[in-house]
Each structure stands twice: as C-alpha cells, then as structure tokens.
Amino acid sequence: MLSSSIGYYALILGLISSLLLIYFSLLNFRDNQYLNTKILSFTFLQFIFVITSFISLIISFALSDFSNETVFNNSHTTKPIFYKLAGVWGNHEGSLLLWLLVLTLFTLIFLLKTKKQPLKYRILTILFQQIIIIGFFVFIIKTSSPFNYIFPVPKEGLGLNPILQDPILAIHPPILYLGYVGSSIIFSSALSATVLGLITKKWASHIKKWVLTSWIFLTLGILLGSVWAYYELGWGGFWFWDPVENVSLMPWLVLTTLLHCILVLQKRLILTSWVIILSISTFTLSMSGTFLVRSGILNSVHTFANDPERGIYILIFLFSLIFLSIIIFFFFHKKNESENESFFWLSKETAILINNWFMMYFLSVVLIGTVYPIFLDVITSEKISVGPPFYHKLIIPFLVPFLIFMAIGPKLRWIKSNIENKINLISVFFFSILISFLIVRNFNVNFLINLTIISGALYLFFITIRDFFIKKNKNNSQKIAHFGFSLLILSIMFNNIFSSEIITNLKVGEILETSNTKITFNDINQKNEKNYKSIIGSFIIETKNEKAEKFKPELRIYNQPIIITSEADIKTTLLTDKFMTINVVQNQDYFNVRYQVKPFMIWIWLSVILISLGGIISFFKKEYEK
C-alpha cells in the first residue's frame, strides 16, 4: 500500500515537473543566449519521479500487494517471481507507465546529447516532448492509474493471462516501446526544425541516429513478438496479419522509408517534405497502434483494455497532435529551391523515391486492412476480419519490382548515373530466373507468382552477395541489411512452398500412417508445477529416410485464471522445424494432434537479425568511414 502511494504521488510530481519545464522552456526560448540550467534539472527530476513510480509498481507486484487494483487484476501468489515482475507491463496501466518511463528517459538523453545543436532547436524539441509527456501523465492519472486502491484487500489476485507468461514476451514490450518512443524524438525534432527552418544536411546527420535507434529496436521488438507467437500460440506460423501485428508493422514501414529519405537529405537538400511528413507519420502511427490496442478497439490476443472513456481521450489527444503537426507543416515549411528540380531518371535518389512509393503502398494496404473492419463495425454494426488472402493479393504483385529496384538502386550514383556492369546485372537476373524456374517446376505450386517472387528475391540475394566482394562499395551496413531482406523473402517463400501439415484425432496407443509419415501416440503423463498442471503427450514420428524422433507436446491447465494452453514441441535444425501440438477434444478420449514440417524457419529469424545488424553497424559507423 505504501509503495502504491509513493508511486501515485511521484506521478503527480512528474506532471508538475512537465508544467514547469514548459514554463522555463518558453522563458528560455525568448532569452536564448544559453540553456537555462533549470530545464536540465527538471528534466532529470522528471525522469527520477517516473522511475520512482515505476519501481513502486514493481515492488507492489513483487510483494503481491493486492490492495493495488493493477496487481490484483494481473498477479497471483503462485506465479513465479519472474512473471510477477513481467506482469508490471503485461497490462494496460503498467504498459503505459513503461511508455512514460522510456519517454522521459529519451527526453533526458536528447538534452544531454545535443549540446552542439542550436539552442532554440533543443529548447523547442523539449517543449514538444513535454506536450506529449503531459498527455501521457494526464491519461495515466485520469483514466489508467496503476495505483488504484482496493478495500477490503483481497487475499488472492486474478492472475496474468498464461499466454503472456513467457520469457520472450517479458522482454518483447520494453524493446518494442524503445522503438515506439524513439519516434517521439523524431517527431518533436522534425517539428522544431521545421519551425526554425533547420531541415538541412546537418540536421539529417543528427536525427539519423534517432531514426536508426527507433528502427533497430522496433525491428527487434517485432522479431521477438513473431517468435513468441510462433511457439506459444500453437499455430505454427510466424506472421498472421493480426491487427496488433499490423500496428507494429506500420510504423516500421514508415521508419524504413524515413531512414532512406534521411540518407538522400544527407547528400542533397531534397525530399524535405517527405522527411517531415514521415517523421510526423511515424510517431502518429506508433501512438495510434499503442492506443488502439490499449483502448480495446482492436480485438486480438494482445488487447488489454476496453473502456470508452480511454478511447475518447485517445482520439482527442491524437487529433490534437496531428492538428498541431499539420499547422506547423503548412505554415512553417518552405521548400528549398533545389527541391523543385526534377530528378534525373537514372540516379540513386530516384530509385529510393520509387521504393518509397512502394513502401507507402504497402503501408496503405496494411492500414486499410487493419482499420476498415473498425469503421464497418461503427457504421453498420457488421463485424468482419481481414485475413492473409487480402494482404497477399495486394502486396505480393508489387513486391517483385520493389526487390529489383532494391537490387539496382545501390549500384547507381547520386544526381546522375549510368548503370555500371550492365552485362553482369542482366546475366545475374536471367540466372535468378533460371534457378527459380527449376525450383518451382518441381513442385505443385502456383507457377507464375512463385516464379516471379523467388526470381526477384534471388536477384537481390545474388547481387548483395556479389557486392560483398567489391571493395569499391564499402557500405557494409547497407549490404548486410539488403542481404538480410532478400534472405527473409526467400525463407518465407520456401517455407510457404515446402511446408506440410497433418491434423488428426488420436487416442493413446493409436497409430496414424500416411504416404511418408507414421505417428505413434504412445502415452500421456501428468506433472504438477507451481501455478499449473501439465498433461504431456508422448509421440514417435517416423519419416522415410529419417530417424524416428520423440515429441512431447503439452497441455497446461493454469490455476489462476483457469485457462488451458497448448505448448508446442519443436525440433529445430538449420533446414527444417518439426512442430507438434495437442489439444483436448471435448467429451471424448481423443486428442487433436497437429504435426507440421516448416522448412527454413530459423532462417526467417536469422534474416531479421541480419537486417537489424545492418542498422546497428550504421549506427556505430564514424563519419570519416562513411
């Protein structure tokens, strides 16, 4: 109870610090000879107040203080301590407090790391950040306080959703939020630079670090979420176009586009409008995604809350930020004269611009597929879900030219270029088509679509491999990221083409035989853990030309809340994942058995790590190396 009181009053003091920071920032903006030391002091103090509040919530969870409503709703005395602590952000209120913590931390880091930047720019960026921070403070204190008191105090809590009790999901939200919140600095910085007319090459070099930081964490956060969904939800896939997956993908698409625009801006004073709009869009989508989930508007396994009051506040807050951004863009942004010059049709910036349009198209498809069901529900009360076929039909045809431009673009020069080594590029292209033809011809799959996509991905794959041996192009970060992306597309395609699945109902002792697979259901065992009971199936899988393998998938019956989850048994090699789950068939002695063979699964994860590695190398690259 004491820790909850400390946490609540720390939030109040943090809000007061924000108001004082706005006051001192406005004063300092008029008298701009030097930075007012009170701004740095109160920024540091604000962070201390928020971290105090966050630690107070951690203590409440660790001690199972059920006088705290958030702890009562999301914890239980039998839950392992690791998941008690992870439960701090495994709920609506705690996750927003984590958002606020990272927001204040990044604001402090920005202030400390920008001593060489213009004073007015620093002050105005802090001012915009504080507007966002105040919005979060009010939202948390008014509608989503993690420190509400319950009386009489319950003896036991309701527990955390068991599918959220997972090591990867414990670190997934903090990493994802680092990506989301990093975009707030980009947003505030872009607005400040627009007001002051500082959208320049120098500003691009400065803000690129923040863009990379946000992009790296968001990429890794999405990867962790995808890995968790793969083995925890028991579907055997890595991406399901779930609405909450989509709202994390959308800011990633915009961030990737923004990163390439920043690279152009560093070289030429063009695409300034793109940079500003993308900077605003990235944070707007990050906010929209987080709040759509937290308000309960989107329905998925990730949804934490359902409260109309929260939804109304979210809409007003988002509308205010967007309206402020639009006013600043239209009233303060002035295009540079060089920006009105047309691009030469064959240049690096033209290739980047074309792929930017592709990225915006992909974004539009994902946005429509995610938001359209919400509007349809509001207007007609008709509930629909937009599934993978919608996204595949609209995205896949445009993926091929996107991959080709991605392969050719780095070969071009800035301003005006000729395609170098035309014969090599053309020969690699036809070689890629030949390899794709040989792969697709031997399998009973959609010939044309698979041939074109695999050809495009192989073309990028071979071109990037070739680039590693060319000393003239030393941009290793770009090579690694593009190579990782080509590997990702190839891994997804091969995973889709070569996957196989067996779904059947079996009793203990029964055997299922197919043309090349034999499944033997030997027996079941039971095991009691601290907060769940486990039913473990014992299977032997025999496949032609392979050794017999034992599989032990589980059913876990959690005590609080009482939920049954299916835990997959996965055998992973460099080439293939073998994936087995079981489920109870109600009122029968049968178990529903699902056995899947998922080729190249590990390469999907490794390719995303390579993409992130490209960003990390670029982040630490010194200016003299560029």
Whole-number pLDDT of residue 293: 67
Q: pLDDT tier at 209 (50, 70, 90 boundaries)?
A: very high
Whole-number pLDDT of residue 379: 83
Q: What is the mean pLDDT of the chain?
A: 86
Structure token pair of residue 525: 């065992």
Mean pLDDT of 493-506: 89
For residue 367, being part of any structural domain is answered with no
Domain termination residue (choose one: 139, 165, 191):
165
For residue 199, being part of any structural domain is answered with no
Please state the domain count of the chain: 2
Domain termination residue (choose one: 113, 145, 165):
165
| 362: nearest Cα among 451, 479, 489, 484 | 489
**Rounded CA separation 98/54 (Å):** 7
**Rounded CA separation 20/26 (Å):** 10
Q: pLDDT tier at 151 (50, 70, 90 boundaries)?
A: confident
Domain termination residue (choose one: 165, 186, 202):
165
Q: Domain range holding 26?
A: 1-165
Mean pLDDT of 301-307: 49
For residue 95, being part of any structural domain is answered with yes
If DSSP codes are grouped into helix, strand and coil, which group holds residue 347?
A: coil
Give me the amino acid identity at 534. Answer: S
Whole-number pLDDT of residue 339: 52
Q: Which range, 129-138, 230-239, 407-416, is most confident?
A: 129-138
With 60 as the cut, is the pLDDT of residue 58 above it?
A: yes
For residue 451, being part of any structural domain is answered with no
Q: CB-based contacts of 547: which residues, under 8 Å, 6+ apart?
A: none
Whole-number pLDDT of residue 212: 96
Q: CB-based contacts of 575: which residues, under 8 Å, 6+ apart?
A: 599, 600
Residues 213-267 have pLDDT tens digits of 999 999 999 999 899 888 887 676 788 888 888 989 999 999 999 999 998 898 8
For residue 394, being part of any structural domain is answered with no
Q: CB-based contacts of 403: which residues, under 8 Å, 6+ apart?
A: 456, 457, 459, 460, 486, 489
**Rounded CA separation 109/7 (Å):** 23
For residue 56, being part of any structural domain is answered with yes
For residue 354, being part of any structural domain is answered with no
Structure token pair of residue 339: 């920006």
Min mean pLDDT across 94-108, 123-137, 155-169, 489-503 is at 155-169
Mean pLDDT of 115-124: 93
The angle, 0 to 180 degrees and rounded to 10, between the axes of the packed helices 272-295 and 167-196 is 140
With 70 as the cut, is the pLDDT of residue 296 above it?
A: no
Structure token pair of residue 340: 């009105």
Q: Which uninterrupted H or E stretch holds 547?
A: none
Per the CB < 8 A criterion, the answer to whether 278 and 258 are in contact is: yes
For residue 3, being part of any structural domain is answered with yes
With 50 as the cut, is the pLDDT of residue 337 above it?
A: no
| 123: nearest Cα among 30, 259, 1, 233 | 30
Give me the amino acid identity at 370. Answer: T
Which residue did the predictor score with more confidence, 151 or 626? 151
